[in-house]
Amino acid sequence: MDRVFAWGPAETVADPARSILPDRFEPSSWATREVFTADECAAIVALRERRAAAAGTLVNGVATDGIRRSRLIWLEQDDPEVEWIAQRLTRAVADLNRDHFGFALSGFDEQIQLTEYTDANLGFYDWHSDVGGRGIPRTRKLTLTVQLSDPAEYEGGALELNFNGNPVEAPRDRGVGTAFPSYTLHRVGPVTSGVRNSLVVWTHGPRFT
Ligand SMILES: O=C(O)CCC(=O)C(=O)O
Ligand SMILES: [Fe+2]
């Protein structure tokens, strides 16, 4: 059974005076839960070995080293080796959405992103929103990113979310997924030692009204 770790970020608004939002605005929400076991995380990372990697691009498809340094593998949802992963992600997203977000969602319209950030080039991804101006990224609504690496094996690489001017850090626990509205500003800090792997899936749907 998946476990909900956090429902925030009300308790993390350390300094309301620094908030960029009006008082009456309820900060957007995020939720985390276990999605994969440690062994399953290792099996997912091992999928790298038989697949070609690409440099991570920005939401608009542009590759810019100064904003993002990561290597990506795209996992095809109908690949027999990937099917169980897609099923688990579907379950996690459906549960999280039902319990916390209540968004109108239609499905995963993109492949699943297996991401690697390494200390070799201080891998990172600077502040960004996942919603693009055109094409499929425009209909992204809910982002789920799962920590695939043992937190003891890397330093840096923190996933941070900025809802209101006070960034909060997502749990680093291996196998735990963090879900947030795709328009939320977030970043991955530079990995200063070791390697961090993550699995990112976007759920799409009708535009917010
Ligand atoms: O690696 C992560 O946890 C998040 C990556 C990310 O923000 C993205 O690929 O859009
Ligand atoms: Fe992102």
Mean pLDDT of 167-185: 95
Is the confidence metric ipTM above 0.85 for this complex? yes
> Higher-confidence residue: 69 or 14?
69
Predicted confidence (pLDDT) per residue in 132-152, tens digit: 888 898 999 999 999 999 999
- Which segments within 77-139 are labelled E, that is strand? 112-118, 124-128
Give the confidence band of 16 by pLDDT, cuts at 50, 70, 90: low
Mean pLDDT of 180-205: 97
Residue 200 beta carbon below 6 angstroms from any ligand 1 atom: yes
Instruction: Report the separation in Å between the CA atom of 51 and the middle of ligand 2, taken as the mean of its atom positions.
Output: 22
Domain boundaries, the chain: 69-105+114-154+181-209
What percent of the chain shows pLDDT beyond 90? 67
| Cβ partners under 8 Å of residue 15, min gap 6 | 166
Q: Which fold has domain 69-105+114-154+181-209?
A: Jelly Rolls (2.60.120)
Peptide bond between residue 9 and the one before it cis (omega within 30 degrees of 0): yes
pTM comes to 0.87
In ligand 1, which atom is closest to the CA atom of 117?
1
